[in-house]
Structure 1
Amino acid sequence: MLESVQLLDCGIPVHGRYLPDLMQDGKDDACKLLLHHAKRHSLAEGILLNSFIDLEADTIKAMQDEEIGKIPLIYPVGPIIQSGSTSGINRSECLNWLDDQPKGSVLYVSFGSAKSSTFLFIFFPKRFLDRNKDQGLVVPSWAPQIHVLSHSSTGGFLTHCDCNSTPESIVAWPLHAEQKMNAVLLSERFN
């Protein structure tokens, strides 16, 4: 297993166990494919980054350092956030539920896409959803996150640290993939 990895000149060492699972085994086909494409980054004319300079200024500056090697220009264009549903889900269900809750009383817990949510459900105790159905609302697929976060009933946000939720997060609970690494980078940078 990898020990501590220094990510460019960002000043934050990340222990190997926090890197995505597919990077833990150099013999794994997914790891080989990731490394293959990582070596090809210099072929690009530019890189669009779903982030913003105030969040990752040190990282973006380090990536543009000519001593590191030929890295294409980085264009932070984010955060780009999905604000509408393409899945046909009645988005008003959770917003209607929020309308009935006291101001600031809801902790919005997001574990990402339906795939991540399904992954999470295996960790719930038996009958968890049934026992807690009157305590909250579970939306097992997509929810209008921007609307939920800006709703007056929402008092906090617990995220799984996916790249898409990280810019909006307050509390982190990483589950898999790059989420552990994102949580370390966030906690070290902003604490």
Structure 2
Amino acid sequence: MRYTAKLNRRDTPYVIADEALTLSGGRWEGWPGHDNVDPATIEIYTLPGRQGEKVLNYTTEIRDGAEWKLWLRVFAAADVLYLSYETTGDVVEADDINQLQGDLEGLAAEAEADRLALDGALKRKADLVGGTVPVEQLPAEVVSGDIDFGTFDDADALTLHETSRTAHPWMLVDGNYSAAADTSQTLEEHMANPMAHQNLDIDGNGT
């Protein structure tokens, strides 16, 4: 959002130069950027700095209930025109204050939404790092392994675990505590053992 700075009232007029007017269909109409415009000082050109062609095809109107404002209509075969005029300053209306309050409330709502989104993202990250997220709630790229988590150094915990001779001293070969302890030194050795899961029940409940 962008606001036009208000001008304090004074006897010596302000000179406003090159206020851009964007035309649609060869027409522009609306309030100039400031109040109390002297119609006799209006100049409109096709280029900034009172350059290019001077535009004379325009009308002005003072509307009831807003005598300090000048409604301007401009007609020209151009996309943008440049308006210059003199004014003795602005009048601050209730509508100006209401617009400002509404915009501030909108910004506050956007900021709160952004804060909640950030809090949620930080919590999800903490849950991922802490391993408390159920598999079904993990992002698809995490489950599929497509996400890049970076490269581990030589102290990779999984490597240390798999190469440790004491990693699985009490793991039983068949997984049901009915055979000898698994003496595999690595996960690969355990999986390659033809006796690894011979008595493992399909439903995992001993039935």
TM-score after normalising by structure 1: 0.19
* Structure with the larger strand share: 2
TM superposition score normalised by structure 2: 0.18
Q: Which has the larger radius of gyration?
A: 2
Relative to total residues, which structure has the larger helix share, 1 or 2? Answer: 1
Q: Which has the higher contact order (CA 8 A, sep 6+)?
A: 1
